[in-house]
Structure 1
């Protein structure tokens, strides 16, 4: 392990502008634009050669050439049959809680009467088809199946497919726990494909051995930098949820926080990836010392010691000392973390003042790992500061608002003169003429 468990950043006594504050904060080096150049030929190859390109990419990147790309129904069913009963029970509870929360996110159509005989209705319509990506790199993520599938199903998306990388240890199929989660959710279209090539396959569609993966309208789900780069490259051809980067946790704490809780929560996210970000923001030097001591103990004993130690020691992680909770709030709002814990006195009041975060975890008994699995919230969240303008995955991610305009002849007559005037002001006279064709008496020049 490195000599310093986690860097310290002392901002006490400094009055930084928002620009200076953002520049001072720790961030992972995550150059999606550079990765776009790496994935461009992969995406082009899938567009040109379809399934053949996917088989070659699997052999190159995953170390195995699957027998087929679409996972047979019996393989999915067998995965559920052989699933550890305790894991099954945990997944079933995760699904139940996610459904409870996401069911309340469904939106109703609304009709507004603008004038007598004139209405605008906003209809909420699900996308036609989605491709849900589930990673399969350093860890296994059946929870990501739940987080992607549940909101899509509750949005009533009529067609959905899951993609996850083929695994050498499992005969070229995705990990059986991922397949079991699909079975629990009654998802029968699962593809053994990962990385940028999976995003490309969803965008363009493929055919393999009589099985067709139709192009999707939207791709969602977390992944590595190459998945994010493929999403950026293909945005416009297909909709995306976000360009998810390495996971992040920020903890805002005062001297009332339990140092062991804080340390365990920082480690819980650091074990995802060597680029994972773990940030503690506090006004308590005593807490800093206690957390550093707890980290030293826990990092040495955790399973993924090297991965965790690398993440904590990286430039993306830090313990940040500030003057008070007010300064801490300003900092975390500037940071806009994927996951933000509030471990302070009157944590609910402090949390209510958070404006920028993917998800907020309030008090000592709401660790981020609860949200990762079984809080009922969604764990597909914006990273890299994107929480200042983007939301996590929800039912709304799969819906489109369509305005339906219905005006009577009289309602058009009442407002048509304004339409003609504005059209001419914008030098688009044909716009006004479309109204005058219906009501020529409105022509001010007649």
Structure 2
């Protein structure tokens, strides 16, 4: 006859076994000695304490109940410690990322996972305070690191030191920033470091912080300077616990509205389920390269990498990010509805260029005869199709200006060729003299 197996499983005890335990009151404490003793360690076996109903009455066996409560408390503490190891999830409280919740995205899941894990190595989190009071928090990314001096630079949004945002209209320039705000950089290894402001630019809302920190591993991101509407991208940031917040989506086909500056592009996800304040986080392509920096304004906007790369290069070379004020607002014909584009082609024989949406009063553009509704086809002999391309051209012109030994607050000539639709397609060449400024 086969010998019965005397090993007890973890399932519920029989009534007979429970009664047997009721006449052996020391069994609760002794069977869980590794949890009851005060010197328990995380590496000891994880066993959930059990007590029979007859022993759970507070007045029946108080010493047994006390031992059980102690064992239960230590079990829960140990369970919590295991949860902190990340690869365990006993509590069910883990908040997964929102990346790829649907089966339609399974074909790119592995590719996207690799891209996110690559990009995440460069993403940190920042928090700010002023006069001892919390100001805000955001994400950021490393762009420089000196291994010898253990000093690096983090790029983020200037929102981290913004103290007042009185109007949604960015063009009014009424936001207030305080360079004296204290900024803490939260690193991937769980430590923190002080961020020292090196420079911030209010038009592009970018800020650079120096970080001194020994004995950490820093990974610098790669940038892809091209990003296009409809491109599949991933939005990556960190929450207050430094956990990744990941959302898949696409670059939206959209012109900036009249309150937003020309250099914005937009991230689209139908759920809009971002679970952290991810300003300063990365927009990446499926190759893991950065194609934008999140800078939420109205509609999940981000600064595209073409502007970021030029901004970083200008700051590294000249210590500032200069730009030109044209005194006009534009929208791109290219980003209009297809039927709208076709109608303009039928009526005016034009399907590309920038539509003048506003002209500043008494500006040089107005004095040159440019009006609302005109179409600007080219600047400095270069055909321009989007407002992003316009910003890039203006930044390149500023770079040439500085390379020639000039400085801020000087004049630059910009030629433009406008088409007046009100005057039956009359071409209007004009020369604009604009100030170089980093405001």
TM range (shorter): under 0.3
Normalising by structure 1, report the TM-score: 0.20
Please identify which structure carries the higher strand content.
Answer: 2
Q: Bigger relative contact order, structure 1 or 2, given CA contacts below 8 A and separation 6+?
A: 1
Bigger share in helix: 1
